[in-house]
Structure 1
Amino acid sequence: MEYLRELKATSRVTYREMARRTGPKPYYCGASTLSQAVTGSRLPRLQVVEAYARAVGDRADHQARQHRVGRARQLWKAAAIEEARPLRTDQGRRLRQIRTPEALGQGLARLRARVGQPSLREIERETAARGHRVPRSTCRLILAGCVLPTSEQLTVLLYAFAVTEAASMGWRIALSRIATSRDPAPTWPGGCVCPDGDPAVNAFLERRDRDERIKRKTGQLRQDEDYDAWLEVRAARAFYRRRWDYLDEDELDQFAQSG
């Protein structure tokens, strides 16, 4: 913050004028935002620091402006790393101990701190460049442990946090372990399983009854009374076919003469 205050004192430009120089959105920063950036109460966002460095000094000297922005960005990253030192020195849980979304979010927050605590906007741009954009609001929820990232989101976040391909495998295993524990595969106890109440069984029975009603209306299926008579006819025919097995030779000759 000392560097920004020195630039402000050297240029002697008011905060209102600096705000006008920051340009239109999304680069615009208000006068109050610029003034709070040098109070030292908290680390300002990188976009505010860059806008501050661009707004002070001679606007026509592009080389000097690039030098100011580069120097301000370098100092901001050093301050961000120092602010995140507690997270960087804390080893946290091992990957095999990560079993909840909260623990996964804490682990990803430590990875973010180790690469200089990039802003959510920078993470969004980096993940979009990797082919799967993670919005800032979603990234905030993931790091806070409120939501579980998808496999694609976790992959691009690990890329943004400079995690190697070999090391990312452990994080994918941890994500799979958490997802499995939250939505386990159905298991059946031993013994007979009653299908009553199973959605698939109920759907099959309803479909069968519907098809039966349609076939009855269109004449493709016998009515109940006709069906009983048809069964009796079939039984009688089967009986007469079986009679030949029980007739002796005299009965067969008599049956042939009568015919």
Structure 2
Amino acid sequence: MAGRPLSPIPASTPPELRALVQRLRDAKEASGKTFAALAKDSKVSESVVRRALAGKGVPSLETVKAITLACGRKEDDMARAWYAAKAEEVLPGARELGPMLVTSRAEFVESMVFMRIEGGYPPLHRLEELAGSDQDGRTRLPHSTLHLVLQGQIPPTEELFTAFMDALFMPAAKRRNWLDAHRRLFADAPARRAWGQPPPVVRDEPSALTSCEAAERALPRLEQDERIKRKTGQLKEPDDYELLGLGYLNSPAPHFQWPDEEELAAWEAEAAAQPAQEHVDLREKLRAMIDRTEPA
């Protein structure tokens, strides 16, 4: 069985990726192999083969080469198609420049990304392993530092860039031109500290921050407004209830008016005229209730 057929390439697929996937599909159809046979001959799983031919993402260069060889095609032509698709994915709209045409640090960093793509776009950890260690046992190409460099956050030192080219096995002829371009653009880049050397001490401390002049002019006005509000009764110190969040207990109800002396006298007379309530002994009452509920 040939298995389930592939769906059409999505319309949202970028042009270079669409061209790569279509060439892979044409190679499969020309070989007459099923997905299972193609996976067996290319020594990758069938699911990886299907994902590579689906057109939803750029597969790895190793996968593309394995499928191409299993289909009996030349891997160099397919590798160039992969390179264009990967560059389109990682650096959309960017143009690859040679060392003599690079005029800015941003273009140089983009060129480093193109170098990585040309080398198969290996992971940063793999580049760190390929670069090895120096004579002091220190990693020549830390992946965390390389990540910051490729993001444009820190400049690449000459030592790090040399290790980067070593990890990508760049030919010696290209190395000299790119080193000249690096020295031209990053001549003032700080050198990496030697092993065990502490960071430099900055003796010229920055000047202390001063407050805003507008705020200094506004503070006296605010203090004067507060003194006026305290004198006129518009502002008062918070009491214990307000500090505890219970200010409503000490504040009168809306539209509340305290009664005058005549109303207070009338309330007291009305309370005195009411008959006194009969005193009830709760213990006797409870004992009587218990006696009634107990069985005879």
The TM-score with structure 1 as length reference comes to 0.46
The structure carrying a bigger helix percent of its residues is 1
TM-score with structure 2 length normalisation?
0.41
